Structure 1
Amino acid sequence: MSRRDRPCILISGAARGIGLACAERFADAGYFVGLYDLEPVGLAAAAAQIADRWGADRCCHALLDVRDHDRVVAAVADFAAHTNGRMDVLLNNAGVMHVGRFESVSAAEHQRTVAVNLQGVIELTHASFELLRQTAGARVINMSSVAAIHGVPQMASYSATKHAVSGFTEALELEWASYDIRVCDVMPAFVNTKLLSGTNKLSAEDVLGVRLTPADVAQVVWLAATSTRRRTHWPVGPQATLAYRGDKLAPAALVRAALKWMIKL
């Protein structure tokens, strides 16, 4: 099968962690994968890893800063050149997180969180519209979090961006249905990646543990991309599923008390 005939996926934040695991999952299923990331060394290594396992004609890669409009447009054009203008799946995975009490996190870090986690999703999705529209059954999958279910202390800006991504997803799922484009998000709890390390360690990790791997998340992304079920939010793992369902059923005071206990406020 020619690479131009294969189903294809563009992944932002693809150099490591969840992005790379998703690239591997889709490549293993026969997809052509476009790897885009801000880190040149990690990106080159990820592309080499995909090429070694599935062949050099099964992926493309280029640098992408989702905060830069011109680079976003260039990345989408690069992907289109490799897929003959097709995009079956867009995975908005690039993200950053700064943990700490709101006032202790610098204004620059808050701004970066919003720029990457929210504006970057909007920019890349907007730039991809024409490719998605001309691909039958196309899907947009946004990487969200359990932090979109209820605001999490010590993650105020991160939670805010994930709430916004959830709203963006819900609105676009309705708006783009007329184009045969499905839009959904994936909501994992704590995942064992570089994002949760060092200064980004959260008190709740000690209570709940880090129980998910990038491969666990990749499998749910795969289900979201291939399922015939029209579902907007996809929790990942028992903890996220319980939080998602519990937030709709539990009294608000109980949810607040549980969060304060986990974060040790």
Structure 2
Amino acid sequence: MRNILITGAASGIGAATARLFYRHGWQVGLLDINAQALAELAAELGNAWHAELDVTDPAAVKAALAGFCALHGGQLRLLFNSAGILHCGHFEEIELSAHTRIVQINVLGTLNMTHAAFTYLKATPQAQVINMCSASGLYGVPHLASYSASKFAVRALSEALDLEWAKYGIRVGDLMPPFVSTPMLSNQRFKAPVLRRLGVNLEAQAVAQAAWEQAQHSKVHRPISLQFKLLYGFGQLTPAWITRRIMAWLSRD
């Protein structure tokens, strides 16, 4: 069984991942709230299965999973929780509703999908969940406070479920890229200082390639790009106050 169900599939990392797995001969399922872009991608990928979905709606999530997995004997080899949103700015200047929406999509959306997928994953040999985390899940990033907090939650979920679901043969891990050149990031009106200092040097295709590598050899955390691999490794070896100093400098106005 080689099938993958992708949230946030209509653009950016989700779309790049869908194209890559399709080229490798996988059966691809596409989910996104943007129905038009989703239909266009599905047509490009040989009329791939797709459904408009708001991942914050638990009932709709269950229906989408049931619909896709019914075509594959009730099995799901890989769930890729790629849906997510970002809002850069000073914490107090961002509307509370925007902070809430970040948590709803990035955290609750991932919870909804993963919880509903369990039955299908359990029925599938070598089943996996890949969660879209971020370098922002390593240390809290100023001007991306709620986004960073959401990625800490995703990181913890990946760690916990990889241990808890090991008895079922289900691997759970996450991808941790730094800033990626996607419409979500380019459409931000506020450019965080950390963005100016580190730059945006990663394309969606590089993250898709990491998802492919994760599907072959699962890790709990998969840092992406040489820059962040070095920072991630450094952070595992040094006291937290040093990481804090580095983040303070990177985020200085």
| TM-score, length-scaled by structure 2 | 0.96
Structure 2 residue 129 is the aligned partner of structure 1 residue 134: no
Indicate which of 55, 58, 62 corresponds to 1:66: 55
- Give the alignment's Cα RMSD to 1 decimal: 1.2
Q: What one-letter code is carried by the residue in structure 1 that aligns with 2:212? A: W
Distance 1:260 1:110 in 2: 22
SS class of match (2:59): helix
CA deviations over 1:143-164 (Å, ceiling 9, x no partner): 0000010000011111111011
- Contact in 2 for aligned 1:21/1:218 (Cα 8 Å): yes
5+ unaligned residues in a row in structure 2: which ranges?
Answer: none
Q: Calculate the TM-score normalised by the size of structure 1.
A: 0.92
1:237 aligns with 2:232: no
Q: Which residue of 1 aligns with 2:99?
A: 110
2:133 partner amino acid: S
- 2:42 aligns with 47
Amino acid paired to 1:203: P
1:240-265 Cα offsets, whole Å, 9 max, x none, are 21221111123333222221222224
Alignment pair present for 1:32 and 2:27: yes
- Looking at structure 2, the residues matched to 178 and 258 of structure 1 have their Cα atoms a distance apart, in angstroms, of 39
Structure 1 SS opposite 2:131: strand
Deviates more, 1:206-215 or 1:14-23: 206-215
Cα displacement string for residues 116-174 of structure 1 (whole angstroms, at most 9, x for unaligned residues): 00011011000001100000010000000000100000111111110111111101000
Amino acid at match of 1:232: V
Structure 1 residue 200: deviation in Å? Answer: 5.0
How many percent identity over aligned positions? 43
Looking at structure 2, the residues matched to 140 and 200 of structure 1 have their Cα atoms a distance apart, in angstroms, of: 32
Partners of 2:239 and 2:62 in 1: how far apart?
Answer: 45
In the alignment, the residues of structure 2 paired with residue 99 and residue 241 of structure 1 have an alpha-carbon distance, to the nearest angstrom, of: 23
Please list every run of 5 or more consecutive structure 1 residues that lacks an aligned counterpart in the other structure.
1-5
- Structure 1 residue 226 and structure 2 residue 216: aligned? yes
> Aligned to 2:173, what secondary structure does the other structure show?
strand
- 8 A contact 1:149–1:243 mirrored in 2: no
Q: Which residue of 193, 201, 207 maps to 1:217?
A: 207
Q: Deviations for 1:149-202, whole angstroms, at most 9, x for unmatched residues?
A: 000001111111101111111010000000010000000001000111232532
Per the TM alignment, residue 16 of structure 1 is displaced from its structure 2 partner at its CA by 0.5
Q: Which residue is 2:251 aligned to?
A: 263
**Alignment partner, residue 158 of structure 1:** 147
Runs of 4+ in 1 over 3 A off after TM superposition: none
Instruction: Give the C-alpha shift of residue 209 in structure 1.
Output: 1.2
Report the alpha carbon displacement of residue 239 of structure 1 after superposing the two structures with TM: 1.8
Aligned-partner Cα distance in 2 for 1:15–1:212: 19
Report the equivalent of 2:66: 77
Match of 1:250 in 2: 238
The residue identity in structure 1 corresponding to 2:146 is S
Provide the rounded CA distance (Å) in 1 between the counterparts of 2:66 and 2:44: 23
Secondary structure of 1:186 counterpart? strand
3-state SS, counterpart of residue 44 of structure 2: helix
1:101 Cα deviation (Å)?
Answer: 1.4
